[in-house]
């Protein structure tokens, strides 16, 4: 943890009136995480924090179908699901902005526009099977504009972008898929303060539109000021569940380091 501070206003208390979009009951995978139970409602931002090696990313990978848990249940909109792959997770409305955008989040040498549309290509095809370039270009233009991404030309590769703008492309890719649950795994790593604030605002805007957000971060100020709930994970287990309106950064930090 860097200890860098961010001067933001904490989110108001969550109204608790949204439908439960994702529920996890006693989820376990040997050597990675044990007996994980929590839920995320529409419009809620739930953050998971902890030290390196706590099992946060491993949990995210299981929720996105990249690995399979040994036991426990995952429910989407109250229905039990099993993911054999990330395709299954996507089809059930889960998106995942991964911790490492350069190797798993984006195809860096590929065009910006192709990265944005990668998760929705079937939806953008004509009855003939060919890509509807007009619809694809409209979608790309809309997302670049709405996320204020600085792009000289969407046909350029992602490598032409700054780290912050590349991360926004990674988020745009999943917004295009219109998920009900979006997992943001360390979404501000490697970006400057201005882009961090922009990413926080994107997450808040998506929550206001009814998306359920799971944010993973080891930055205590980041989760404290940008979450309705903060869950502390240690050695593969959830140990504390804080509501920032009824807790302090210091209390969360002490729980992480206990």
The whole-number pLDDT of residue 186 equals 93
Q: What is the pLDDT of residues 14-29, one digit of tens each?
A: 867 889 999 999 999 9
The whole-number pLDDT of residue 158 equals 94
Q: What is the pLDDT of residues 204-251, one digit of tens each?
A: 999 999 999 999 999 999 999 999 999 999 999 999 999 998 999 999
Q: What is the 8-class DSSP label of residue 225?
A: H
The CA radius of gyration of the chain, in Å to the nearest whole number, is: 18
Query: What distance in Å separates the CA atoms of residue 88 and residue 100, rounded to the nearest whole number?
Result: 21
* Residue 77 near residue 46 (C-beta atoms within 8 A): no
The whole-number pLDDT of residue 176 equals 94
Query: What distance in Å separates the CA atoms of residue 185 and residue 71, rounded to the nearest whole number?
Result: 23
Distances (CA, A) of 121 to 6, 25, 71, 144: 38, 33, 33, 17
Chain centroid to CA 186: how far? 8
Domains and CATH numbers, the chain: 19-93+179-258 (3.40.50.300), 105-178 (no CATH)
The whole-number pLDDT of residue 70 equals 98
Q: What is the pLDDT of residues 103-162, one digit of tens each?
A: 677 899 999 999 999 989 888 999 998 999 999 999 999 999 999 999 999 999 999 999
Q: Looking at the whole model, is its pTM more than 0.75?
A: yes
Residue 184 tokens, joined: 């943001």
């Amino acid at each position: 943890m860097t200890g860098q501070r961010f001067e933001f206003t904490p989110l108001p208390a969550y109204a608790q009136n949204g439908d439960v979009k994702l529920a996890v009951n006693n989820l376990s995978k040997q050597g990675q995480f044990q007996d994980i139970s929590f839920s995320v409602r529409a419009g809620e931002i739930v953050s998971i924090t902890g030290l390196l090696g706590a099992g946060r990313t491993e949990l995210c990978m299981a929720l996105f179908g990249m690995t399979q848990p040994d036991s426990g249940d995952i429910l989407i909109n109250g229905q039990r699901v099993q993911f054999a792959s990330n395709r299954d997770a996507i089809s059930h409305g889960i998106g995942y902005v991964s911790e490492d955008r350069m190797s798993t989040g984006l195809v860096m040498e590929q065009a910006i526009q192709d990265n944005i549309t990668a998760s929705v290509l079937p939806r953008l095809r004509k009855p003939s099977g060919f890509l509807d370039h007009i619809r694809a270009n409209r979608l790309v233009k809309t997302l670049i504009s709405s996320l204020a991404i600085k792009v000289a030309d969407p046909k350029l590769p992602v490598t032409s972008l700054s780290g912050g703008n590349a991360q926004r492309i990674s988020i745009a890719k999943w917004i295009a898929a219109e998920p009900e649950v979006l997992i943001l795994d360390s979404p501000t790593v490697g970006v400057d303060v201005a882009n961090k604030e922009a990413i926080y605002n994107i997450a808040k805007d998506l929550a206001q539109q009814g998306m359920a957000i799971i944010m993973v971060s080891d930055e205590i100020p980041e989760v404290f000021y940008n979450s309705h709930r903060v869950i502390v994970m240690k050695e593969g287990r959830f140990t504390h569940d804080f509501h920032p309106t009824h807790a302090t950064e210091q209390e969360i930090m002490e729980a992480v380091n206990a």
